[in-house]
Amino acid sequence: MTKMKKNINLEKKIRLRFPPSPTGPLHIGNARTILFNYLFAKQHNGETVLRIEDTDKERSKIEWVQDIIDQLHWLGIDWNEGPDIGGPHSPYKQSQRTDIYQTYLEKLLAEKKAYFCICSSEELEGKRQDQQSRGLAPKYDGTCRNKNHQHGVIRFIVENKKVTFIDLIRKEVEFDMGLSGDIVIAKNLQTPLYHFTVVVDDFLMQISHVIRGEDHLSNTPKQILLQEALGFYQPIYAHLPLMLNSDKSKMSKRAGDVAVSDYHQNGYLPEALINFMVLLGWNPGTEKDIFSLPELIKEFSLENVQKSGAVFNLQKLDYLNGYYIREKSTSALVKLCLPYLPETAKDMPFKQLEKIIEAYQARLKKLSEITEFTDFFFSEKLSYDKKMLGWKEMGDREVKESLEHSAKILSDAKKFDKKSLEELLVKEATAFAEASASQGKNPDKGKLLWPLRVALSGKEASASPFEIAEILGKEKTLTRIKQGIDKLS
């Protein structure tokens, strides 16, 4: 039986790796794994390595490498070695390390610990079906093990024994490798596969801890056997719970809105996404759910990472993002919102933009919502159904009287700031309601304020008419009211 062994080389320096594959944009599940690695390394004064695992030549793209780097920078996650640190020709891209892998493949072949296999896919499928029909676990039967072929895929000889290792999250884990069969570790000497490259790189880069997703748990015993065959040490392992959709299904790498860039573009803040991701599997042990990155570096621990799957709750992310939006200064939020506003916003005085953003800061759950909330500030004429102008059971004539009354009040207003307008309009709304009551109608302040707010915004829900009027200014406010009256004519 193979058990985890201590290695004195790892006692001095803790080193972890971020190993994304550039076959698509950075997946939020990979970003969470990188975050957990980052926090663990920072907490223990360790080092981190960004290693681009791009041996899948058909699916790996340079633009996805750049996306990985860009999104990690946006999240505030840095690293000590690898692409963007060592330059464009950094050695931490597996596609640039083929000669290294070939040396170790040749070593295994020379020591008879691996062999060339020429079994066709049709032959392998026939064997698999035969084994299944006899109630056996499908595995390679070793047909080519002693054939001395000089070409074909390269299979590693998996010993028929149990492999046991200690996982920092799952404690002692055991696998019966007699159920596995010999595994393919390279398509040929120039094309190594994941199981092999990761073992070689972890050794040469002196990785002390491997923190990765639960979906890699079954890979670990195979990699431990490869480590033994090559005379390498064994890193310390920790396997994180899977990220699940709300229906408890596994989050797919190819599903919509699972890339970090999706959340970035949709107006989520990096601090919110960091806070959200760490809670997908980690429990602080308290009721606290707001954590800055420095706080997480101090408080995070693998001991509080759960074993069961972590359900992705978008409402929780929206709550956290709303919190961080409210924490921003108005001037900082204006700059963050500018990409979501019309081009004409850039020509608007910054103070006016601040007032617009401030009016909606408490309502925002993500930056992109500012577009729909505030579009009417950047339009000359609004398009809306005149029925929206009526409050409850008001008829067109009553709505018109209300808007005409508002126009008169506001045209005579000496001050046009929010506070003065609120005092003036609330007072007039009360008087307007009392006048309605004297005519046998329902006394309601909304009869003055609702038509005015809709005329100014063209929306059923918006900021108060006092805030909107101040931002629009007297001239544009009166123009909007007139446009509303015209709709009723």
Which residues participate in catalysis according to the annotation?
253
Q: For strands 15-18 and 183-188, give the pairing.
A: unpaired
Distance CA 169, CA 241 (A): 9
181 dihedral zone (left: phi>0; alpha: psi -120 to 50; beta):
left
Element (H, E) at 237: strand 236-240
User: 32 and 211 in contact (C-beta within 8 Å)?
Assistant: no
* CA–CA gap between residue 176 and residue 397 (Å, rounded): 83
Count of positions (residues) in the chain: 489
CA distance 301 to 171: 15
| Residue whose tokens read 């899977």 | 242
The half-sphere exposure of 184 on its side-chain side, counting CA atoms within 13 A, is 17
| DSSP assignment letter at 210 | E
| Residue whose C-alpha is closest to residue 428's, from 401, 403, 448, 412 | 448
Q: Which amino acid does the sequence have at 472?
A: L
User: What is d(CA 70, CA 223) in angstroms, rounded to the nearest whole number?
Assistant: 31
The stretches of 134-283 forming alpha helices (DSSP H) are 194-204, 220-230, 260-265, 270-278
What phi and psi, each to the nearest 5 degrees, are found at residue 164?
-120, 135
CB contact at 8 A, 86 and 92: yes
296: tokens are 């997480």
In angstroms, what CA-CA distances link 66 with 50, 88, 261, 301? Answer: 12, 11, 12, 30
